[in-house]
Structure 1
């Protein structure tokens, strides 16, 4: 593939701008290059930085589900030794073994804008409500306002935009009904809204302390298991686990779960509530919170099935999920689901599927990627909105489907064997995909 460098070199006016240099954004860039398109990649930080934020956590899915044939063939041809397909990597291991080498190769062949935050995307010369369904909307280029780490702003243009920025940077609020609990905004900088390395680098924050964990998903389960390990080292360590769900156990096991790592976390977390150091409060919600003990602790008022209760804790882990940041495209004609905030066509397909197990899901097809806004596409975790069932495998299928739309080739699939080293493009990038 090294001989193909000239073919993959970006022009000064790229055909496609990809927002986000995570796994989906990078794989989309690679696919676009193989289709002959010039590409720009933008990210507010460094490639795969979200993977590094929770890098101490082991993925539920094996490596075989978290890379593409295009990416693996490229890296293997360059001499990289990839992990076995059956390996269960941590986020950091996956980033170092696969994402960063892929990013390094791409950075020399596309317009590479790291450290730029996407402020907003619009159409040149058009407001949100103008040229509805008319050709001139598709003909007007996108204007993308970027801001670098020094606050300097710039505008770049593109005929096609792919939003693969994810949602990990936009956590949900802790309070009842999804809005801030009274006192939460003032204490936001002291509350942990993301996964924390409890048993590792951040151990001193939690050892011998009392921690409130809010959430009934796998992130909360992971934290409870980590806290229980600290209890073995320091018996004064305590955890209060608050879930909205009620039932016999905090996390409902999936029968015959094919993902052994997910099954393990579920089993261990449910066993933790039997420990004397863990108190589980089912059917509860955070009503209000305030600082106590000179700002060293929190007083948290909780609404439970038995009435109001106040607990004092040292740390709060608000692991209540994430939402897409739709401020980026508020001036575009994006049809959002009123419940999930994901693109409406895809959200409707997910709702009709009704599956509770992410492994049973696959891409819902090219048509579900379309928006009223021509040539603007949302891929990856962000496309699922508040739905937490997204898998990287589904994102790779979305990439395949998207380029079937852009090229007009319904059977195009660069992930099928034999995996190509390049692809002769079908020049239909100007076609309105809405």
Structure 2
């Protein structure tokens, strides 16, 4: 019988393989990088806001424990620690079922393109793979689980979802980066002007680290540019967040603004990035210009890479590019208060039987994906693939409340009209550090 192909050897991909083995199904995990969880390794300097107890998949634990591995019990690991102490041992336990340097470039049905109905469901999947040496191969699979994540598809600075004019040139000049700097990298920016674009957890992490540099080196400047006309939920849920470390990220960012270490600019929708005298100048759609920056950190989220799925029949939300039933739970345009519901095989199913997108990619462009969300997804999906429909339908996870209310807020509302939604009023914290052409 053909194996189940899992795309990506990150936390959810490796967990899917462990669940498949436990249910008697043979996995093949295809990873484009040269080691396990290669994407996590790229942000290894970042400390997770989930504790160890929520970062280890139960089936993976059961696979690892007979090898003499023992689970870390307490604390909040960095990405590097997560890899070294859990994900790398898990990949090793899976052995040659994990293939590195194997990039998936296409998925389809054997002998059937996207338009063909006849006999489609009876045909195996065909996964086209390009190896690191440039050779290509074609694998047949009984099912495909896409756990490839979104890390390598960051959203650009441009407000309309496309790169701002000049954004690529600023990247090539080393002035703009779509990656959150490490603390050491942040320290190297002492005495310089840094602009952070974005409002999620990555942006809050960067703001917290850069504010610490400003405290030590008062000549350092940090400008935080938000697209929305209100602060909204940029500071997160604070003490109301049921994940304390997640709430603490926003509280640190809020204090940095209150204490004057960071200039917060709202309603700034980047149209172009100019490179002037070796520095980057962000220009908004309304003509405002930020002061020249030595470094621009773009932390505007991520998006799914769907380029290799053009021959798979997908049911995706038009806004988030997430499975439609998942999107109704996580869409920031709609979601107002409290937590979201855990999702399983039924929510993740597509018109292509046997194909599932799991992990961060299942949220499409929506933010705030938790590892334990993905572990519940793969448990349910693998149960469905094994024929255990009762287990697949069962929900074994209640997600923690974010403490954030009011959805995404009013996009064009002026700051003074802001409201925090159904829980608390949004903070009134704006220190404008811009100049206007004219």
Give the TM-score band, short-chain normalised. 0.7 to 0.9
SS in structure 2 of the partner of residue 155 of structure 1: strand
Task: Indicate if the aligned counterparts of 1:66 and 1:393 stay in contact, CA closer than 8 A.
Answer: yes
Residues 392 and 353 from structure 1, CA distance in 2 versus in 1: closer, same or farther, beyond 3 angstroms?
farther
Asked if 1:187 is matched to 2:184, the reply is no
In the alignment, structure 2 segments of 5+ residues that lack a partner are: 397-438
CA contact (8 A) 1:162 1:379 kept: yes
- Counterpart mapping for 1:196-345 below 5 A: 196-197=181-182, 199-201=183-185, 203-204=187-188, 206-247=189-230, 250-254=234-238, 256-293=240-277, 296-303=278-285, 308-345=288-325
Q: 1:378 to 1:52 in 2, by over 3 A?
A: same
Q: Which residue of structure 2 aligns with residue 47 of structure 1?
A: 36
Equivalents in 2 of 1:267, 1:416: separation in Å?
32
1:130 aligns with 2:116: yes
Residue 118 of structure 1 corresponds to 104
2:91 paired with 1:103: yes
Question: Pairwise CA RMSD of aligned residues?
Answer: 2.4
Report if the CA contact (8 A) 2:331-2:366 is conserved.
no
Question: Hey, which bits of structure 1, 4+ residues long, moved more than 6 A?
Answer: none
Aligned to 1:71: 60
Q: CA deviation at 1:32?
A: 0.4
Distance 1:50 1:348 in 2: 27
Which residue does the alignment assign to 1:382?
Answer: 361
Secondary structure, counterpart of 1:336 in structure 2: coil
Residues 8-65 of structure 1 show CA distances to partners (whole Å, capped at 9, x for unaligned) of xxxxx64200000000000000110111111111011021112211112221111111
Cα distance 1:357–1:48, how it changes in 2: closer, same or farther (>3 A)?
farther
Distance in 2 (CA, whole Å) between partners of 1:182 and 1:71 is: 45
Aligned partner of residue 177 in structure 1, secondary structure: coil
Q: Is the deviation greater in 186-195 or in 91-100?
A: 186-195
Spell out, residue by residue over 1:255-282, the C-alpha distance to the aligned partner (whole angstroms, 9 max, x if none): 5222221222111101111344421111
* Aligned residues of 1:254 and 1:263 also touching (Cα < 8 A): yes
Partner residue in 2 for 1:23? 11
TM-score by length of 2: 0.83
String of CA shifts for 1:329-382, please: whole Å, max 9, x gaps.
011111211010012232235459965678x33433431121111211111110
| 1:157 to 2:137 alignment | no
Q: Check if 1:366 corresponds to 2:366.
A: no
Matched residues in 2 for 1:232 and 1:310: separation? 22
Distance 2:388 2:69 in 1: 32
Aligned with 1:269: secondary structure? helix
Give the whole-Å Cα distance in 1 for the aligned partners of 2:250 and 2:49: 11
The 3-state SS of whatever aligns with 2:296 is: strand
The aligned counterpart of 1:3 is none
Q: Is the 8 A contact 2:281 2:289 kept in 1?
A: no
Report the equivalent of 1:399: 378
Which residue in the other structure is 1:427 paired with? none
The residue that corresponds to 1:5 in the other structure is none
Equivalent-residue separation in structure 2 for 1:276 and 1:258 (angstroms): 28
Distance 2:144 2:300 in 1: 30
Write the distance in 1 (CA, Å) between the matches of 2:201 and 2:368: 11
d(CA) in 2 for partners of 1:183, 1:229 = 30
In structure 2, distance between residues paired with 1:53 and 1:161: 26
Q: What is the distance in 2 between the residues matched to 1:356 and 1:122? A: 37
Q: Distance in 2 between matches of 1:105 and 1:59?
A: 24
Q: Secondary structure at the match of 2:292?
A: strand
SS in structure 2 of the partner of residue 58 of structure 1? coil
Deviations 1:72-93 (A, max 9, x none): 2332322223211x42111111
- How far apart are the structure 1 equivalents of 2:54 and 2:333? 21
The answer for the alignment partner of 1:9 in structure 2 is: none
Q: Mind listing any 5+ residue stretches in structure 1 that lack a counterpart?
A: 1-12, 418-434
Is 1:366–1:398's contact at 8 Å kept on the other side of the alignment?
A: yes
- CA–CA distance in structure 1, aligned partners of residues 382 and 282 of structure 2: 49
| Separation in structure 2 between the aligned mates of residue 416 and residue 299 of structure 1, nearest angstrom | 49
